[in-house]
Amino acid sequence: MNVRLIAVTNPLVEIQNEKLTPEGLIAYCARVSSPHQEKLDYEKLLAYCIKNRHWSIFEMVDMTVEITTSRAISPQILRHRSFVFQEFSQRYAKVQSFETYTPRRQDTRNRQHSVDDLDEATITWFTDAQEKISAFSVEKYNEALDKGIAKECARMLLPLNTQTKLYMKGSVRSWIHYIEVRTDASTQKEHRDIAEAVKEIFIRQFPVTAAALGWA
Ligand SMILES: Cc1cc2nc3c(=O)[nH]c(=O)nc-3n(C[C@H](O)[C@H](O)[C@H](O)COP(=O)(O)OP(=O)(O)OC[C@H]3O[C@@H](n4cnc5c(N)ncnc54)[C@H](O)[C@@H]3O)c2cc1C
């Protein structure tokens, strides 16, 4: 798994010869009807808007991240319909890698939960099973390509831990809600790890908003 910052909206507006930060731009747009649009400070304004759920102002700035994960997790990410995506296509390029995961025990009372207390022998068995299946499927996948079978058909031989890469672009508003939902304990750990990495990036890029949300 890997998460990397790709882009954040770059404001071109200047106030008092100072280039606006992305959060400054959110505030500048939010003050469209105010006689004080040229104000530079915005801590109180952003905190007020969060408290009163004036979410639309956070749609004025976008952030794009690159996410490397598995085909098991990418469909969960793609469900966040307010984002736009580009994903590695297994139809046009050859699959290169697999993600390796550590298993957890199924919680018998909560289907959305798993417990990190498996014994070493079971963990080793699962790791070994992943490696064997990945090796076997990649062997058959390569054989299929050698036989002239199209990549879009050959990929049917690949497991869910096949690695994929996505670019995910969304507004600060969408990222706030994505992070809130996907860092919650009800989200699968492998996806939670991605959301936690996104949250770290978000806190660095939007420190005032993050502090107002109680994240910093
Ligand atoms: C634990 C878990 C289990 C799931 N199980 C299933 C399942 O079994 N089957 C299935 O099909 N799907 C499942 N999903 C997916 C889920 O139903 C959504 O499709 C997914 O979380 C995307 O959320 P979204 O539609 O809000 O999209 P997003 O793109 O995240 O949000 C859409 C818009 O709503 C806004 N928004 C979101 N939350 C708020 C808020 N609190 N206040 C104001 N604005 C808000 C966002 O800013 C955005 O503009 C599950 C999700 C989770 C987290």
Query: Per-residue pLDDT tens for 38-94?
Result: 888 999 999 999 999 999 999 999 999 999 999 999 999 999 999 999 999 999 999
Q: Averaged over 130-149, what is the pLDDT?
A: 96
- Nearest-CA residue for atom 26 of ligand 1: 80
Whole-angstrom CA distances from 208 to 32, 37, 46, 214 are 20, 18, 8, 10
- Nearest-CA residue for atom 3 of ligand 1: 187
- Give yes or no for residue 1 having a pLDDT over 90: yes
CATH 2.40.40.20 fits 2-66+164-212, yes or no: no
Output the six-digit token pair for 91: 């139809």
Distance (angstroms) between ligand 1 centre and the Cα of 181 equals 7
Residues assigned a catalytic role: 182
Burial class from Cβ neighbours inside 10 Å (0-12, 13-18, 19+) for residue 111 reads: exposed
Each residue's pLDDT tens digit, 87-135: 999 999 998 899 999 999 999 989 889 999 999 999 999 999 999 999 9
For the chain, give every domain's residue range.
2-66+164-212
Q: Which residue's entry shows tokens 């007020």?
A: 48
> Is 40 within 8 Å of 16 (Cβ atoms)?
yes
Distance (angstroms) between ligand 1 centre and the Cα of 201 equals 21
Q: Which atom of ligand 1 is nearest to the CA of 174?
A: 47
| pLDDT value, residue 112 | 86
- Nearest-CA residue for atom 46 of ligand 1: 174
Mutate to test the pocket of ligand 1, among 61, 78, 79 (most ligand atoms within 8 A of CB): 79
- Nearest-CA residue for atom 30 of ligand 1: 80
| pLDDT value, residue 22 | 97
Each residue's pLDDT tens digit, 169-187: 999 999 999 999 999 999 9
Provide the strand spans (E) within the chain. Answer: 2-8, 14-15, 18-19, 62-70, 84-87, 105-106, 114-115, 163-171
| pLDDT value, residue 72 | 97
Residues framing ligand 1 (Cβ under 6 A): 55, 79-83, 112, 173-174, 177-178, 181, 186-187
Q: Which atom of ligand 1 is nearest to the CA of 176?
A: 47
Q: Is 100 helix (H, G, I), strand (E, B) or coil?
A: coil
Percent of the chain with pLDDT strictly greater than 70? 100
Distance (angstroms) between ligand 1 centre and the Cα of 196 equals 17
| Measured distance CA(206)–CA(204) in Å, rounded | 6
pLDDT confidence band for 216 (50 / 70 / 90): confident
